[in-house]
Amino acid sequence: MRKVPFFKKYHIKTMISFFMKFKKYYFVSLFLTLISSIILYLAPLINILIFDKGLKNKDLKVLFFSVMLLLAANALTEIFNIMQMRFDMFLNYKMSKGLKTKILDYCIDNSFFADKSGEYVSLLERDASSYISLAYKESINFVRNIISAVSSMIIVIKLQPDLALVSVILQSMLIIVRLKTQGIEELKGKESRNSYIALHSAINEIVLNMKKISLLGAGSFAKKRYEKALDNEYKVTKSQTMFSSMIQSFISLTMNVVGGIILLWGGYKVILGTLTVGALISFNQYASSLSSPIIGLISIPSNFASKYDTINKISTILERKDTDPKINIDSISEIKVSKLSFSYDTEMIFHDAKAKFKKGHIYYICGQSGVGKSTLLQLISGQLRNYKGTIKYNDSNLQEIGTKNISDLVSVVMQESVLFNDTILNNIVLDQEIDLERIKYLCRICNILDDIEELPDKFDTIVSEKGDSFSGGQKSRLCLVRALYKNLPVLIIDEITAGLDGITERNIRENLSEVVSDKIVIIVTHSSNFIIDKSIIYNINDHKIKQGEPRCLK
């Protein structure tokens, strides 16, 4: 099997393209790195002045000057290190924000097609941080280590060629070991990521369904699932950590052997008088400085291998082209469904079905539970796209219209209310401009204005996470207000009457028609109280969509 080149396997081109978007910050960081490296590598040379000029010749002036120079060099190094640390934090924030925004766009775009909360948590938290560390820190460290290794090599060869040769030969062993363990680290990195995803999937499963788990009496079962995922993550993390520790221990031992040989050989040369004490100390410092960048350089393949799965996932997102097709439409006057066939695995929902929805009309979708009412709404709103047949907005095929364009045309009120841990006002307007008079008008139509006005903080009342401080009916009505406030050409309502009493249903029904007269309105309902007179009824039966009298209504 042909080996994939390193640059292609780890999407290095994509990585470079990503951090070059922050190049003005990157080059400042690189400049600070160069300055601190230069100062750091000048410091050991000062030891020659201290030992061979100051102490050996008993020259107090040279000794004092050399010590002051060494202190100044160390102080400057620390100052530049602090400057770089602060700048790195800022750059890391900028890169993290840019990458996580890109990942969030991806998660939102793909939430229609899969429910992978653990995967999304991993992408936004662990994977994003790991990728930035590789894209930025490894690139900076690569430059720093190259400069350090070359500088140290030149200096140690110039000081003592024979000692330099011994040091290089022994350290070459480290390169071989690192390259040999690359495949194992890649496998362990993949296992670690999968265990992290499994753990957070279990956590999200419990957190998002806490009340339901309690009502079902499934607390013990949920806890066992969590403990199993936690145990597995511990085992995988332990295995990965122990393996890395063994490699690091081997490297440290090898470096100690190198240092010991240098001291023995160098000390022997000092005894013979062919090497000064100052030169030996300086050589030893540069040899140690040579070890660190070499270890850093040979660790790069292993660092990439351990994050192979992460790099692949993030690169897929960064390399993703703008998937929104070229067709963009500004308004919709008709939605036409033709020869529609759709299945969930082997369960057929629609076969050769057809329907038509026109502007200025209200349509009701009726039928028994499980026949595909909600599925039809998901198909019409572009949430499901793996169907056969055609769905057209005006004369444009839905498959050729982008997700973003659809969200600018279609407003959806789902069965399960989606509310944020924010004020009532912000939950209604989202990121639109605030028109309080219109908001109150829509709240009155949806029969919730009185409920809001009775609250101490009115529209500034905080809606708790998932809206648990409100009843099911109140949450449904708030979501309906939000959908109406968006004022889009198409309004889709998926069974919001479950938590409403008969009077509230009739009030909303009587008021709704006056604000949707210029829209295509499609409503799934089981309640006869919610059907507006002279509206069009579609029944779903035998995998078909047929116009007629409403069926299966309470």
CATH number of the domain bearing residue 511 = 3.40.50.300
Indicate whether 325 belongs to any domain: no
Q: Residue 115 and residue 420: Cα distance in Å, rounded?
A: 19
Indicate whether 140 belongs to any domain: yes
Angle at 185 between CA 170 and CA 315, to 5 degrees: 120
Identify whether the C-beta of residue 445 lies closer than 8 Å to the C-beta of residue 508: yes
pLDDT the model gives residue 440 = 92
Looking up tokens 């960081």, which residue turns up? 29
Identify whether the C-beta of residue 283 lies closer than 8 Å to the C-beta of residue 154: no
Output DSSP code: residue 553.
-
Q: Residue 277 and residue 267: Cα distance in Å, rounded?
A: 8
Residues 57-74, mean pLDDT to the nearest whole number: 82
Instruction: Report DSSP letters for 321-383, one per residue.
Output: ---S-SB--S--SEEEEEEEEEEETTEEEEEEEEEEEETTEEEEEE-STTSSHHHHHHHHTTS
State the alpha helices, DSSP H only, in 123-218: 128-132, 139-159, 161-180, 182-208, 210-216
Of 163, 421, 452, 111, the C-alpha closest to 288 is 163
The whole domain housing 366 covers 334-547
Q: Percentage of the chain surpassing pLDDT 70?
A: 83
Please list, in sequence order, all residues whose beta carbon lies within 8 angstroms of the beta carbon of residue 132, skipping any fewer than 6 positions away: 92, 95, 96, 99
Looking up tokens 């139509």, which residue turns up? 445
Q: Residue 289 and residue 144: Cα distance in Å, rounded?
A: 12
Residues 477-505, mean pLDDT to the nearest whole number: 81
Residues 412-437, mean pLDDT to the nearest whole number: 85
Tens of pLDDT, residue by residue over 219-266, are: 777 778 888 888 888 888 888 888 878 877 877 777 777 777 777 877
Co-location of 384 and 523 in the same domain: yes
The domain that holds 70 is classified in CATH as: 1.20.1560.10
Co-location of 216 and 82 in the same domain: yes
Tens of pLDDT, residue by residue over 72-93, are: 888 888 888 888 888 888 888 8
Task: Give the rounded distance of the alpha carbon of 256 from its chain centre.
Answer: 41
Residue 540 has pLDDT above 70, yes or no: yes
Residue 554 has pLDDT above 60, yes or no: no
pLDDT the model gives residue 356 = 92
Co-location of 235 and 346 in the same domain: no
Indicate whether 505 belongs to any domain: yes
Prediction pTM value: 0.65
pLDDT the model gives residue 550 = 59
Please list, in sequence order, all residues whose beta carbon lies within 8 angstroms of the beta carbon of residue 272, skipping any fewer than 6 positions away: none
Enclosing H/E stretch for 540? strand 536-541
Q: Which residue, 290, 318, 346, sits at the end of a domain?
A: 318
Co-location of 65 and 159 in the same domain: yes
Identify whether the C-beta of residue 186 lies closer than 8 Å to the C-beta of residue 307: no
Co-location of 145 and 273 in the same domain: yes
Residue 211 has pLDDT above 80, yes or no: no
Co-location of 263 and 369 in the same domain: no
Q: Which residue, 288, 318, 348, sits at the end of a domain?
A: 318
Q: Which residue, 294, 318, 342, sits at the end of a domain?
A: 318
When comparing pLDDT for 107 and 336, which is higher?
Answer: 336
Token pair in block for residue 298: 């040979």
Residue 438 has pLDDT above 60, yes or no: yes
Tens of pLDDT, residue by residue over 370-391, are: 888 888 888 888 888 788 899 9
Q: Which of 278-292, 340-354, 396-410 has the lowest mean pLDDT?
A: 278-292
Co-location of 257 and 296 in the same domain: yes
pLDDT the model gives residue 219 = 72
Query: How long, in residues, is the chain?
Result: 554
Identify whether the C-beta of residue 258 lies closer than 8 Å to the C-beta of residue 286: no
Co-location of 402 and 266 in the same domain: no
* Torsion, CA 536, CA 541, CA 545, CA 549, rounded to 10: -20
Indicate whether 553 belongs to any domain: no
Indicate whether 324 belongs to any domain: no
Indicate whether 35 belongs to any domain: yes
Q: Residue 168 and residue 170: Cα distance in Å, rounded?
A: 6
pLDDT the model gives residue 208 = 67
Q: How would residue 269 be classed by pLDDT, with cut points 50, 70 and 90?
A: confident
pLDDT the model gives residue 523 = 86
Co-location of 281 and 372 in the same domain: no
Co-location of 311 and 375 in the same domain: no
Instruction: Report the domain count for the chain.
Output: 2
Q: Percentage of the chain surpassing pLDDT 90?
A: 2
Co-location of 83 and 205 in the same domain: yes
Co-location of 423 and 492 in the same domain: yes
Indicate whether 552 belongs to any domain: no
548: left (phi over 0), alpha (psi -120 to 50) or beta: left
pLDDT the model gives residue 321 = 66
